[in-house]
């Protein structure tokens, strides 16, 4: 019998436990190893996803993502995500990835970027259910560790999910993450949590709910409405790495603690230290930070984001943070606009 690796064992234990689990969503150019460590320091997710490995006929796994896996300092399992449609290349890559200390391999069926979906990868594959069936069959055969899929609910229409779900159900997946929007919908509201419930009711594996989870109370609502076993959180975790700890507090019936302005300022400084590479000019470091602050800024009242977007130097950048965050008032860091979405009952 082959020994089960510690990350696989940890992943299976998390999926099997009765309590809901929390995962950090894969986000290109955001969720690298440095960001996992930072998030982990604030309580962190139970499971981390890599940015996607681009898979095609000539691809080899991107070194930067491989290093994030081999240097993972969170102590929590990591799932390696692939994007592509070439079965031979996907199988070849899955074999290589299985030599790394990962907990599972995930297939991206949701990316809405035109450059991706037009090549019939990511969300583009949702238009070709028979092709998905063939890819999942080949990958399930090639992957000896857990195999998971992250999908949207259709390409253009919600009804497509009725065709997709039986295909997902056929391939002995270990988990299915559902971002409950169509590809055509991009990131617009509403999120169709009732479609996640549909998956929860018919899939033989745990279903993870994803899409616009932004507060502890709303996380509980989403878990209930979607009947999901776990939550995957993306942009709100950039806005507030405290969210995972807050959700755990709320689910345990404890009052939720919010960071103060100075705590948020400390998080931004830690981001700066971990993300804004020291060998880059100041302007480039500011631009790198704006990738994160575009989300965080949505939770800071006033002209904070407007001013940060114009910052060109470190002095300007940190000066703006001081102007808005040098205080001890609690900050919920929920999106101020557009309006938060109330969870609709099924
Ligand atoms: C900047 C950015 C990059 C993303 N990159 C990926 C990716 O590499 N793979 C993937 O499956 N989803 C990716 N997504 C989608 C997220 O994983 C998630 O499904 C989506 O943001 C909805 O969740 P949220 O509302 O909690 O952010 C990305 C999203 C954003 C905002």
Tell me if 193 is assigned to some domain: yes
Q: Which of 251, 272, 299 is the last residue in one of the domains?
A: 251
Sign (positive or negative) of CA dihedral 222, 228, 230, 232: negative
Choice from 25, 35, 51, 334 to test ligand 1 binding pocket (greatest atom count within 8 A of CB):
25
Tell me if 25 is assigned to some domain: yes
Tell me if 343 is assigned to some domain: no
| Distance in Å, CA 20 to ligand 1 centroid | 20
Are residues 121 and 144 located together in one domain of the fold? yes
- pLDDT, one tens digit for every residue, the chain (346 residues): 568 999 999 999 999 999 999 999 999 999 999 999 999 999 999 999 999 999 999 999 999 999 999 999 999 999 999 999 999 999 999 999 999 999 999 999 999 999 998 999 999 999 999 999 999 999 999 999 999 999 999 999 999 999 999 999 999 999 999 999 999 999 999 999 999 999 999 999 999 999 999 999 999 999 999 999 999 999 999 999 999 999 999 999 999 999 999 999 999 999 999 986 667 888 999 999 999 999 999 999 999 999 999 999 999 999 999 999 999 999 999 988 665 665 655 4
Are residues 168 and 28 located together in one domain of the fold? yes
Q: Which of 251, 280, 301 is the last residue in one of the domains?
A: 251
Choice from 24, 28, 298 to test ligand 1 binding pocket (greatest atom count within 8 A of CB):
28
Tell me if 333 is assigned to some domain: no
Nearest CA to ligand 1 atom 21: 234
Are residues 37 and 148 located together in one domain of the fold? yes
What are the angstrom distances between the C-alpha of 231 and each of 114, 175, 224, 248? 27, 12, 11, 12
Tell me if 44 is assigned to some domain: yes
How far, in whole angstroms, is CA 168 from its chain's centroid? Answer: 20
Are residues 123 and 269 located together in one domain of the fold? no
Task: Answer yes or no: are the C-beta atoms of 53 and 65 closer than 8 Å.
Answer: yes
| Distance in Å, CA 323 to ligand 1 centroid | 31
Are residues 75 and 161 located together in one domain of the fold? yes
Q: How far apart are CA 171 and CA 177, in angstroms?
A: 15
Residue 316 structural domain: 261-325
Rounded (5°) CA angle 49-112-162: 90
| Distance in Å, CA 1 to ligand 1 centroid | 37
State which ligand 1 atom lies nearest to the alpha carbon of 179: 19
Record the tokens describing residue 161, joined without a space. 């999910």
Q: Which of 203, 233, 251 is the last residue in one of the domains?
A: 251
Are residues 111 and 212 located together in one domain of the fold? yes
Q: How far apart are CA 93 and CA 87, in angstroms?
A: 10
Closest by CA position to 100, among listed 122, 81, 121: 81
Tell me if 70 is assigned to some domain: yes
pLDDT per residue over 130-158, tens digit each?
A: 999 999 999 999 999 999 999 999 999 99
Are residues 59 and 36 located together in one domain of the fold? yes
Are residues 321 and 208 located together in one domain of the fold? no
Are residues 286 and 192 located together in one domain of the fold? no
| Distance in Å, CA 328 to ligand 1 centroid | 31
Are residues 224 and 266 located together in one domain of the fold? no
Nearest CA to ligand 1 atom 6: 27
Q: How far apart are CA 289 and CA 277, in angstroms?
A: 10
Closest by CA position to 335, among listed 240, 198, 220, 262: 240
Nearest CA to ligand 1 atom 12: 26
Q: Residue 176: phi, psi to the nearest 5?
A: -125, 120
Are residues 320 and 217 located together in one domain of the fold? no
Which residue has 């971002």 as its token pair?
179
State which ligand 1 atom lies nearest to the alpha carbon of 210: 23
Closest by CA position to 139, among listed 203, 77, 95: 95
State which ligand 1 atom lies nearest to the alpha carbon of 295: 31
Write out the DSSP string of 155-206.
SS-TTHHHHHHHHHHHTT-SEEEEE-S-STTTTPSPP-HHHHHHHHHH-SS-
Q: Which residues pair with residue 53 across a beta bridge?
A: 82
Tell me if 221 is assigned to some domain: yes
State which ligand 1 atom lies nearest to the alpha carbon of 233: 26
Question: How many domains, in total, are found in the chain?
Answer: 2
Tell me if 63 is assigned to some domain: yes
| Distance in Å, CA 82 to ligand 1 centroid | 14
Ligand 1: residues with CB < 6 A are 25-28, 30, 51-52, 81, 108, 110-111, 150, 179, 210-213, 233-236
pLDDT per residue over 264-279, tens digit each?
A: 999 999 999 998 666 7
Task: Answer yes or no: are the C-beta atoms of 251 and 230 closer than 8 Å.
Answer: no
The CATH number of whichever domain residue 140 belongs to comes to 3.20.20.70
Are residues 306 and 165 located together in one domain of the fold? no
Task: Answer yes or no: are the C-beta atoms of 9 and 248 closer than 8 Å.
Answer: no
Q: How far apart are CA 222 and CA 193, in angstroms?
A: 7
Nearest CA to ligand 1 atom 1: 27
């Amino acid at each position: 019998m082959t020994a089960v690796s510690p990350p696989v064992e940890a992943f299976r234990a998390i999926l099997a436990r009765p309590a809901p689990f929390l995962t950090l969503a894969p986000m290109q150019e955001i969720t690298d190893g440095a960001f996992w460590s930072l998030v982990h320091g604030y309580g962190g997710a139970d499971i981390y996803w890599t940015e996607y490995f681009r898979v095609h006929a000539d691809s080899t796994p991107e070194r930067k993502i491989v290093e994030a896996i081999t240097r993972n300092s969170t102590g929590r399992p990591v799932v390696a995500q692939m994007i592509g449609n070439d079965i031979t290349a996907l199988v070849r890559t899955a074999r290589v990835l299985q030599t790394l200390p990962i907990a599972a391999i995930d297939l991206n069926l949701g990316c809405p970027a035109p450059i991706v979906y037009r090549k019939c990868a990511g969300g583009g594959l949702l238009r070709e259910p028979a092709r998905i069936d063939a890819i999942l069959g080949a990958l399930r055969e090639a992957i000896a560790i857990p195999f998971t899929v992250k999908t949207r609910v259709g390409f253009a229409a919600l009804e497509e999910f009725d065709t997709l779900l039986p295909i997902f159900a056929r391939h002995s997946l270990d988990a299915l993450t559902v971002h409950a929007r169509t590809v055509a919908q991009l990131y617009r509201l509403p999120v169709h949590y009732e479609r996640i419930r549909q998956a929860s009711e018919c899939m033989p594996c745990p279903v993870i709910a994803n899409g616009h989870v932004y507060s502890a109370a709303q996380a509980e609502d989403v878990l209930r409405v979607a009947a999901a076993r776990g939550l995957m959180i993306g942009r709100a975790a950039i806005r507030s790495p405290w969210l995972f700890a807050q959700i755990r507090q709320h689910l345990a019936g404890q009052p939720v603690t919010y960071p103060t302005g100075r705590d948020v300022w400390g998080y931004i400084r830690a981001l700066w230290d971990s993300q804004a590479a020291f060998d880059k000019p100041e302007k480039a470091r500011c631009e790198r930070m704006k990738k994160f602050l575009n989300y965080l800024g949505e939770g800071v009242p006033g002209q904070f984001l407007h001013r940060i977007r114009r910052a060109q130097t470190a002095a300007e950048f940190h000066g703006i943070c001081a102007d808005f965050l040098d205080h001890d008032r609690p900050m919920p860091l929920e999106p101020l606009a557009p309006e938060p979405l109330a969870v609709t009952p099924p």
